[in-house]
DNA sequence: GCGACAG
DNA sequence: ATCTTGTCGC
């Protein structure tokens, strides 16, 4: 087992972080037509990854298009280096999408990362898309529990700097960790998540992508 | 050295 | 993330 030299990857992340834009470039709400969700799944000890990007209409959230990719996950899961594991398959999905969505929501952190380079940000810089990081649990940063009502939020802070928001998407349920991926600001990132979340904890685009990758994995026959 | 640690 | 059974609460 040759251990992985993470040093150059960390350096690369630090350089890529300089390319991230936190200025909002999301179209006006009335002009947004599509929002996509992406996800990757794999078997417990398998190297095969199943990725998908699902595009939904906005604001009605109806299925419009999808693209999938299946292939080996060459890189292991290392906290802080998730994009090196999942990005390749997601980029394959992205390039095969005929019509690029107005925004992409990733099932991971964006700016809320030790070096401001979570998967959502890396995906954004690599594609030029407007992206948002939407994680179910915290990677880094400190926060106070937001109020119990849907829409309540609190700041996620790292080294006295805001890196994201802890957002309650339904009354009384565990909040999500939202952060800009690329070309969007904190306020619009959380607002977009709320607008594409119906009656469940997770945004519909993420749910759609999650269902698809799991279906893909179950239909696949190897391990 | 110890604890934390997206998916 | 995945695996995995029952179980607690509304």
Task: Write the DSSP assignment of A119-160 as a string of letters.
Answer: HHHHHHHHH---EEEEESS-SS-B-PPPPSSTT-EEEEEETT
Q: Which nucleotide is nearest to A41 (CA to C1')?
A: C1
Let me know if residue A9 belongs to a domain.
Answer: no
Question: How far, in Å, CA of A213 to CA of A41, rounded?
Answer: 6
| Best CA proximity match to A53, nearest among A116, A119, A138 | A119
Q: Which nucleotide is nearest to A218 (CA to C1')?
A: C2
Number of domains in chain A: 1
Let me know if residue A15 belongs to a domain.
Answer: no
Look up the domain containing A34 and give its range: 22-219
Which helix (DSSP H) or strand (DSSP E) does residue A216 occupy? Answer: helix A204-219
Let me know if residue A62 belongs to a domain.
Answer: yes
Distance in Å, residue A196 CA to nucleotide C3 C1': 30
Q: Which nucleotide is nearest to A50 (CA to C1')?
A: C1
Let me know if residue A200 belongs to a domain.
Answer: yes
Nucleotides of C strand lying within 7 Å of any protein CB atom: 1-3
Let me know if residue A83 belongs to a domain.
Answer: yes
Residue A59: give its domain's CATH number: 3.30.2170.10
Tally: H helices and E strands in chain A = 5, 8
Walk along chain A (223 residues) and give the pLDDT tens digit of each residue.
668 899 999 999 999 999 999 999 999 999 999 999 999 999 988 899 999 999 999 999 999 999 999 999 999 999 999 999 999 999 999 999 999 999 999 999 999 999 999 999 999 999 999 999 999 999 999 999 999 999 999 999 999 999 999 999 999 999 999 999 999 999 999 999 999 999 999 999 999 999 999 999 999 876 5
Tokens 């993470």: give the residue: A6
Let me know if residue A196 belongs to a domain.
Answer: yes
Let me know if residue A3 belongs to a domain.
Answer: no
Nucleotides of B strand lying within 7 Å of any protein CB atom: 5-7
SS3 A98: coil
Question: How far, in Å, CA of A97 to CA of A88, rounded?
Answer: 15
Distance in Å, residue A12 CA to nucleotide B2 C1': 28
φ, ψ of residue A88 in degrees (nearest 5): -50, -50
Which helix (DSSP H) or strand (DSSP E) does residue A83 occupy? Answer: helix A82-96
CA angle A59, A36, A27 (to 5 degrees): 60
| Best CA proximity match to A111, nearest among A178, A45, A59, A160 | A178
CA angle A178, A180, A166 (to 5 degrees): 20
Question: How far, in Å, CA of A132 to CA of A33, rounded?
Answer: 16
């Amino acid at each position: 087992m040759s251990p992985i030299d993470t040093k150059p990857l960390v350096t690369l992340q630090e350089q890529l972080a300089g390319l991230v834009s936190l200025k909002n470039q999301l179209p006006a709400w009335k002009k947004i037509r599509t929002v996509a969700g992406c996800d990757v799944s794999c078997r417990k000890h398998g190297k095969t990854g199943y990725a998908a990007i699902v595009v939904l209409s906005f604001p009605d959230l109806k299925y419009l298009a999808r693209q999938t990719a299946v292939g080996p996950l060459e890189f292991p899961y290392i906290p802080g280096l998730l994009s090196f594991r999942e990005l390749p398959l997601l980029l394959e999905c992205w390039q095969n999408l005929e019509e690029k969505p107005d925004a992409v929501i990733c099932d991971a952190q964006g700016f809320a990362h030790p070096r401001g380079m979570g998967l959502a940000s890396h995906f954004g810089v690599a594609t030029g898309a407007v992206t948002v990081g939407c994680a179910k649990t915290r990677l880094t940063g400190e926060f106070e529990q937001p109020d119990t009502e849907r829409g309540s939020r609190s700041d996620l802070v790292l080294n006295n700097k805001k890196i994201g928001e802890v957002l309650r998407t339904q009354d009384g349920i565990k909040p999500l960790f939202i952060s800009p991926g690329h070309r969007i600001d904190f306020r619009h990132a959380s607002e977009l998540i709320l607008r594409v979340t119906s009656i469940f904890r997770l945004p519909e685009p993420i749910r759609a992508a999650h269902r698809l990758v799991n279906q893909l994995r179950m239909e696949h026959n190897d391990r």
